[in-house]
Chains A and B, each alone.
Chain A
């Protein structure tokens, strides 16, 4: 079964530092997503990405966040200047348009970001 991979599994950083979280989605998928889960809270949508551009983003996804697909395989989330409240588990997901009217989703194992 194909899988979405994420690196690193755990990232510790100082407040104000830039971090880049990496994801390798399923190779023939077209839609990519970042979600985050603050400890003890529910998973929240950050951003969706299709055709090399952001298709939708949440209020959380402010100017400190950016995404890109630099080489056609990796999908990255950059946080420019981390804040304490950015500490969370960040999940990458990818989905494919199928012949049906729903998509099949695959999730990465997550990157736990700790901002000190």
Chain B
């Protein structure tokens, strides 16, 4: 069983839609990361969460430590948001989810 599960694996939406990507984990963690990977391959850190909620522009990340679950939301999605979004948990070293491939169509 994977220690970090993401859903959905793939998501295609129209520009402007509200996007939710989910992450569940089964191990104890000190923090959870949401990361973005563009087709070129580079990884950008979006959020690091240990509790509650964080917001940055149109991106919102929440975490429920008791339920071992986190969500990444994108409001007013745009084609430039198209990327792979990865959840990774800090369990001394990072344990990575498989990623969610998001495509936003104009």
Contacts and interface: CB of A to CB of B under 8 A. Distances in A.
A and B physically associate: yes
Interface string A73-116: 00000000000000001010100000011111111011010000
Contact of A102 (B30, B42, B86, B97): B30
Helix, strand, loop or mixed for chain A's interface?
strand
B63 to A, nearest CB: 12
B9 to A, nearest CB: 11
Interface residues of B, number: 22
A43 B96 contact: yes
B99 A42 contact: yes
Counting from the closest, the 6 A-B pairs by CB-CB distance are A102-B31, A109-B42, A43-B96, A102-B30, A42-B98, A107-B43
Given A42-B97, A44-B96, A45-B93, 13 more contacts: A33-B93, A37-B41, A43-B94, A45-B96, A48-B92, A56-B93, A91-B43, A101-B30, A101-B50, A102-B48, A103-B30, A104-B48, A109-B43
Interface of A: 33, 35, 37, 41-45, 48, 56, 89, 91, 93, 100-107, 109-110, 112
